[in-house]
């Protein structure tokens, strides 16, 4: 049985930075070679980043991806790395992009993988199963591939697959069993969802059994707008044994020696030809390629990548939020961020995330007190600043609020919202003056019921916790403080911000509980309605009282949201780490009684 040393490069590409991504491949291939690798794997759409959305329709972009692939093959050879086979994801096209319904059937843009060797593109594979649900729209962009690409290298037959190919039964994994391969490579741009790692491992095991082969699963990491990619790369043997598994949310070179069946042993391989001519699962045709030589088996001890232990949910979410924010700021080249500090839990958690992501010297926190701000709010904001070391400012809003009130006749909600909007204007002025990105701090629960001010506290270019329910915000705060204490550091979040009852402080003595149900009651209903697509009956059946269900659904659907904001024209994303809801704004469907 041959042994291959595999190197899974769990790296962080940037969308659109084709030359930078290619440089990244060269640098990591060098590292893999230094570790004795005999086959190197990079994630899905490595050269372009993922997802590129409608850039697919720009011919210049597709051409740049294809040219970069050829240049990369040549550059690797020039680097002295030509003997080492490298699998890399890229954007290909064998026809014009499918921009309307009358495109040529079966031809168009492709989500592709290539195997590079000795300066050449030795093999190509086009993703067969295209995801078109949740955050994915790949039927919009790509034409599905119809071939199973099998490369013989180092005496082993290796099939190439991409991401969703793993998530659907049949297709390339079933076909791989039919032709009898030893290893299936699966390259990914698989976004993070809470607990997705818990379903990923069993899924890889199921496909390993289906293919009767070892699976090398490599995923990217990084933040891309509203998505976070988590890594969690792994190798699973044909019998389901987890051989090695990489940590989440960090770049990582996972090098591991894998014993694989010799191609001729399997008895299923005719002489390599262009295709076998046999129809496989899903109508796939096999395309065979051969790599004549690979680097010799390394001497010395076997390489073992180790198996990372799963972490607590709170740790996982925290790392996802930190990575998502860091990449949004850095990939868009913002020098720093600014946010309002109210003394409450939401802004405290966002500040702590920002400091973890960027360092305290790149975070500006502004206290924006009004006449309704309590003494403890100002103290808690100052305490947070001291604990985290961020750049702390105080900008009282009362003079501006008073001037508006002196020049207009406003009352009630209009006065409440005015205060939030003056804060927004101040933060945006600091952004314009000093270059910071403004961070928004509304949690998902209050966004869902409209308990926020449009163009007020909703001002900002990025909201790290917009997909985090309020009850999870509290859990995150407690976890982060405990983690600091465990490591002997300063807990960043004031205990008082965690313990006190939440308040918008826009009118005297105001509390969230004046308007909203307790978050312990509210959040499960919101989760069922928004994430679970449950209707009124389904929510009542899962144990909520009809009156409470009606109250919450009415808030979400119309009343509170409209009354407070007066302008529903901005779609609120209800995405929850990969669960994306797209709902009409103009919509008279009402679940509530």
Which residues fall in the annotated binding site for deamido-NAD(+)? Answer: 417, 446, 562
**Which of 45, 165, 174, 46 has the alpha carbon at shortest distance from 110?**
45
Q: How far apart are CA 235 and CA 308, in angstroms?
A: 12
Q: Detail the residues annotated as belonging to a binding site for L-glutamine.
A: 133, 190, 196
**What's the 3-state SS for 353-387?**
HHHHHHCHHHEEEEECCCCCCCHHHHHHHHHHHHH
Q: Is 18 in the site for its own copies (CB under 8 A)?
A: yes
Which residues face 234 on adjacent strands? 217, 245
Kindly give, in sequence order, each residue whose CB lies less than 8 Å from that of residue 352, ignoring residues fewer than 6 positions away: 384, 388, 477, 480, 492, 493
Show contacts with its own copies in window 389-408 (CB under 8 A).
395-396, 399-400, 403-404, 406-408
Q: How many Å is the Cα radius of gyration of the chain?
A: 27
Task: Tell me which of 462, 519, 561, 577 binds its own copies, using CB under 8 A.
Answer: 462
Pick 230 or 380: Cβ nearer its own copies: 230
Pick 8 or 422: Cβ nearer its own copies: 422
Show contacts with its own copies in window 280-309 (CB under 8 A).
none
Q: How far apart are CA 190 and CA 393, in angstroms?
A: 40
Task: Specify whether 127 is catalytic.
Answer: yes
Q: Detail the residues annotated as belonging to a binding site for ATP.
A: 340-347, 441
Show contacts with its own copies in window 133-152 (CB under 8 A).
133-134, 137, 139-140
Annotated catalytic residue: which of 9, 66, 127, 210?
A: 127
Pick 311 or 405: Cβ nearer its own copies: 405
Pick 141 or 318: Cβ nearer its own copies: 141
Q: Is 61 in the site for its own copies (CB under 8 A)?
A: yes
Show contacts with its own copies in window 318-347 (CB under 8 A).
327-328, 331-332
Q: How far apart are CA 64 and CA 399, in angstroms?
A: 54
Show contacts with its own copies in window 65-124 (CB under 8 A).
98-102
Task: Specify whether 44 is catalytic.
Answer: yes
Cis peptide before 152 (omega within 30 of 0): no
Q: Detail the residues annotated as belonging to a binding site.
A: 133, 190, 196, 340-347, 417, 441, 446, 562
Distances (CA, A) of 409 to 30, 366, 406, 413, 562: 68, 29, 8, 12, 21
Q: How many residues bind its own copies (CB under 8 A)?
A: 103
Q: Is 515 in the site for its own copies (CB under 8 A)?
A: no
Q: How far apart are CA 214 and CA 375, in angstroms?
A: 62
Are the CB atoms for 354 and 383 separated by under 8 Å? no
Token digits of residue 2: 């041959």
Show contacts with its own copies in window 539-578 (CB under 8 A).
562, 566-570
Task: Specify whether 575 is catalytic.
Answer: no
Question: Least separation, in Å, of the C-beta of 293 and its own copies?
Answer: 37
Show contacts with its own copies in window 441-460 (CB under 8 A).
454-455, 459-460
Show contacts with its own copies in window 173-232 (CB under 8 A).
223-225
Which residues are marked as active site? Answer: 44, 127, 163
């Amino acid at each position: 049985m041959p042994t291959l040393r595999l190197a899974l490069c769990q790296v962080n590409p940037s969308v659109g930075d084709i030359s930078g991504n290619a440089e990244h491949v060269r640098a990591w291939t060098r590292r893999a070679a230094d570790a004795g690798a005999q086959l190197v794997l990079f994630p899905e759409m490595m050269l372009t980043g993922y997802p590129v959305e409608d850039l697919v329709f720009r011919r210049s972009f597709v051409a740049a991806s294809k040219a970069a692939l050829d240049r990369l093959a040549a550059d690797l050879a020039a680097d002295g790395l030509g003997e080492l086979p490298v699998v890399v994801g890229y954007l290909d096209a064998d026809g014009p992009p499918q921009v309307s319904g009358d495109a040529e059937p079966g031809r168009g843009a492709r989500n592709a993988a290539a195997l590079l060797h000795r300066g050449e593109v030795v093999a190509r594979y086009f993703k067969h199963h295209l995801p078109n649900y949740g955050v994915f729209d790949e039927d919009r962009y790509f034409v599905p591939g119809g071939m199973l690409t099998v490369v013989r290298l180092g005496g082993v037959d290796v099939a190439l697959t991409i991401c969703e190919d793993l998530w659907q039964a049949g297709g390339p994994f079933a076909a791989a069993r039919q032709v009898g391969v030893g290893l299936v490579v699966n390259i990914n741009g698989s976004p993070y969802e809470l607990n997705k790692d818990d379903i990923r491992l069993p899924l890889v095991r199921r496909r390993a059994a289906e293919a009767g082969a070892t699976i090398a699963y490599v995923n990217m990491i990084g933040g891309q707008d509203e998505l976070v990619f988590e890594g969690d790369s792994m190798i699973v043997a044909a019998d389901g044994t987890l051989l090695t598994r990489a940590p989440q949310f960090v770049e990582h070179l996972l090098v591991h020696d894998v014993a694989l069946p010799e191609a001729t042993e399997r008895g299923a391989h005719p002489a390599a030809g262009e295709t076998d001519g046999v129809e496989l699962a899903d109508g796939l045709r096999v395309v065979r390629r051969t790599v004549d030589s690979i680097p010799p088996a390394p001497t010395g001890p076997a390489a073992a990548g180790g198996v990372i232990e799963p972490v607590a949910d709170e740790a996982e979410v925290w790392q996802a939020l930190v990575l998502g924010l860091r990449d949004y700021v850095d990939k868009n080249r913002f020098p720093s961020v600014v946010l309002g500090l109210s003394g409450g839990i939401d802004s405290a958690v966002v500040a702590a995330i920002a400091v973890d992501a960027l360092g305290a010297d790149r975070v500006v926190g502004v206290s924006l007190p009004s006449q309704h701000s309590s003494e403890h709010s100002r103290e808690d904001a100052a305490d947070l600043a001291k604990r985290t070391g961020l750049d702390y400012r105080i900008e009282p809003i009362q003079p501006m609020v008073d001037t508006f009130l002196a020049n207009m006749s406003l009352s009630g909600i209009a006065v409440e919202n005015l205060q939030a909007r003056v804060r927004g204007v101040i933060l945006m002025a600091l952004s314009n003056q000093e270059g910071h990105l403004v961070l928004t701090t509304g949690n998902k629960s209050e966004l869902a019921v409209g308990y926020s001010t449009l163009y007020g506290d909703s001002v900002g270019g990025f909201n790290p916790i917009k997909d985090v329910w309020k009850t999870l915000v509290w859990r995150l705060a407690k976890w982060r403080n405990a983690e600091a204490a465990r490591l002997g550091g300063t807990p960043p979040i004031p205990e008082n911000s965690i313990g006190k009852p939440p308040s918008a402080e826009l009118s005297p003595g105001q509390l969230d509980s004046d308007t909203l149900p307790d978050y312990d009651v509210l959040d499960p209903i919101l989760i069922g309605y928004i994430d679970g697509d449950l209707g009124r009956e389904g929510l009542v059946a899962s144990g909520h009282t009809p009156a409470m269900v009606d109250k919450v659904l009415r808030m979400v659907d119309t009343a509170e949201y409209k009354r407070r904001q007066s302008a529903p024209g901005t779609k609120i994303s209800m995405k929850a780490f990969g669960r994306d809801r797209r709902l009409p704004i103009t919509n008279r469907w009402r679940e509530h009684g």
